[in-house]
């Protein structure tokens, strides 16, 4: 049996923003290769801060975050882009480029790394097929439903083959049926070997799964399920 590999670990992390706003208090978390983990809590609980610390947009005030061997205490500025290339991120508001069609929105993630044109075409067409949006490749974001826009965002996050996918309230702007469909896509992605960390306040949606759950409030872990 393959050994379990720790991909993300928070070690007694405190995060304090300006004006003494404490976002995280003695926060500990561990994710291993292939995990699917829900981070559940109300708005302002600290969920987004956890994600920002993972892709090192923010750094701990105290404590340490280790991601794929990179430590928040020792990582160099030039190494941060290398780490981020291994991490897929999707947001509640999709963050698509409205002046580009679906194909170009997904391809953008590869073009910024100067990937060869043939490779870009191959990988973009593959991930669009995976999220069942091949027929929308020439459409623009404003021509898509909320659920379809989120699938484009997922495809863009997956096109660089990340080891972990971070989903920040990915169903927040989608109707219940679309939310369940997005969750099914995330489950399929996880089944393919990609770790998934999904931050959400939607306990009803989480209750329909059997994945690990960490409940967070006021920047502290309040329970696990």
Per-residue confidence band for 5, with pLDDT thresholds at 50, 70 and 90 = low
Does any domain span residue 215? yes
Residue for token pair 């509640």:
92
Contact 163, 129 (CB under 8 A): no
Residue 129 has pLDDT above 80, yes or no: yes
**DSSP alpha helix (H) spans, the chain:** 47-54, 80-84, 102-111, 117-130, 146-158, 176-191, 203-206
Is residue 143 pLDDT above 90, yes or no?
Answer: yes
> Is 190 inside a domain boundary?
no
Record the tokens describing residue 102, joined without a space: 């679906």
When pLDDT is averaged across residues 81-85 and rounded to a whole number, the result is: 92
Q: What percent of the chain has pLDDT over 70?
A: 98
Amino acid 214: pLDDT: 94
- Asked if pLDDT for residue 204 goes beyond 60, the answer is yes
**Residues 100, 149: Cα–Cα separation, whole Å:** 13
Residue 5 is part of a domain; what is its CATH number?
3.40.50.300
Report the 10 Å Cβ neighbour count for 81: 11
The mean pLDDT value for 16-33 works out to: 92
DSSP label at 58?
S
The answer to whether 153 and 90 are in contact (CB under 8 A) is: yes
Does 49 reside within a domain? yes
Q: Quick check: is 2 in a domain?
A: yes
Print the domain residue range for 1. 1-77+197-225
Q: How far apart are CA 91 and CA 89, in angstroms?
A: 7
As for how many domains the chain has, the answer is: 1
Reported confidence tier of residue 203, pLDDT bands at 50, 70, 90: confident
Tell whether 46 is covered by a domain: yes
Cα within 13 Å of Cα(125), Cβ side? 6
Q: From the centroid of its chain, how far is CA 104?
A: 20
User: Is residue 73, in this structure, part of any structural domain at all?
Assistant: yes
pLDDT at 163 over 70: yes
Question: What is the reported pTM?
Answer: 0.90
Task: Kindly provide the residue ranges of all beta strands, DSSP E only, lying in the chain, ordered along the sequence.
Answer: 6-17, 21-32, 36-40, 62-67, 70-71, 87-91, 164-168, 195-200, 212-217, 220-224
Higher pLDDT, residue 53 or 178: 53
pLDDT score, position 93: 86
pLDDT higher than threshold 50 for residue 3:
no
Cα-only R_g, the chain: 17
Alpha-carbon distances of 17 from 39, 72, 107, 110, rounded to whole Å: 21, 17, 35, 33
pLDDT category, 1, cuts 50, 70, 90? Answer: very low
Could you tell me if residue 15 is inside a domain?
Answer: yes
CB 187 within 8 A of CB 138: no
Question: Mean pLDDT across the stretch 202-218?
Answer: 88
**Per-residue confidence band for 2, with pLDDT thresholds at 50, 70 and 90:** very low
Give the span between the Cα atoms of 38 and 182, in whole angstroms: 14
């Amino acid at each position: 049996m393959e050994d379990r590999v720790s991909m993300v670990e928070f070690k007694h992390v405190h995060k304090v923003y300006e004006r003494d706003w404490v976002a995280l208090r003695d926060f500990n978390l561990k994710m291993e290769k292939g995990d699917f983990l829900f981070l559940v809590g109300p708005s302002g609980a600290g969920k987004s801060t956890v994600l920002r610390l993972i892709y090192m947009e923010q750094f701990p005030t105290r404590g340490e975050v280790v991601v794929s061997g990179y430590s928040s205490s020792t990582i160099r500025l030039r190494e941060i882009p290398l780490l981020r290339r291994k991490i897929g991120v999707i947001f509640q508001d999709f963050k698509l480029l409205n002046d580009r069609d679906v194909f170009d929105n997904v391809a953008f993630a590869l073009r910024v790394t100067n990937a060869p044109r043939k490779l870009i075409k191959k990988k973009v067409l593959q991930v669009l097929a995976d999220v069942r949006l091949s027929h929308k490749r020439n459409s623009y974001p404003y021509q898509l439903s909320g659920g379809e826009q989120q699938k484009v965002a997922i495809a863009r996050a997956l096109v660089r083959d990340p080891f972990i996918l971070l989903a920040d309230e990915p169903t927040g702007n989608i109707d219940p049926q679309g939310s369940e469909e997005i969750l099914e896509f995330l489950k399929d992605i996880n089944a393919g070997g990609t770790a998934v960390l999904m931050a959400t306040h939607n306990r009803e949606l989480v209750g329909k799964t059997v994945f690990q759950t960490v409940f967070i409030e006021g920047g502290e872990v309040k329970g696990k399920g």
